[in-house]
Amino acid sequence: MFSQSSRPARARSPEEKLVRRGDILRAAERLWTTTPYADLSMNEVAREVQLAKGTLYLYFSTKEDLFLALLAQHYQAWFSDLNALLDERQPKQPDEVADVIAQSLSSHEALRRLQLLLGSVLERSEQAIVFHQKVVALMQETAPRLPYPHDLAMRVLVHTEALSVGWQHLVEEIPARRNLMLNPDLKPLMVNFEEELKVSLRALLNYLQP
Give the model's pLDDT for residue 171: 82
Residues 63 and 67: their CA atoms lie apart, in Å, by 6
- Mean pLDDT value across residues 1-22: 66
Q: At what angle do helices 63-89 and 14-32 cross, to 10 degrees?
A: 90
The pLDDT tens digits of the residues spanning 48-78 come to 999 998 999 999 999 999 999 999 999 999 9
Q: Please write down the long-range contacts of 123-131, taking CB distance under 8 Å and 24 or more positions apart.
A: 124/64, 125/62, 125/64, 125/65, 125/68, 126/61, 126/65, 127/64, 127/65, 127/68, 127/69, 128/68, 131/68, 131/71, 131/72
Which among 47, 1, 51 has a CA at the least distance from the CA of 21?
A: 51
Specify the pTM: 0.86
User: Residue 81: what residue type?
Assistant: D
Residues 196 and 210: their CA atoms lie apart, in Å, by 24
The pLDDT tens digits of the residues spanning 84-102 come to 999 999 999 999 999 999 9
Q: What domains, with CATH codes, occur in the chain?
A: 4-60 (1.10.10.60), 64-208 (1.10.357.10)
* Residues whose CB is less than 8 angstroms from the CB of residue 53 and which lie 6 or more positions away in sequence, other chains included: 42, 43, 46
The pLDDT tens digits of the residues spanning 168-194 come to 988 876 555 556 667 777 777 777 899
Least confident residue range of 153-157, 178-182, 198-202, 206-210: 178-182
Task: Mark out the alpha helices in 63-127 (DSSP H runs).
Answer: 63-89, 94-106, 109-118
Give the model's pLDDT for residue 151: 97
Residue 7 has pLDDT above 70, yes or no: no
Give the model's pLDDT for residue 15: 85
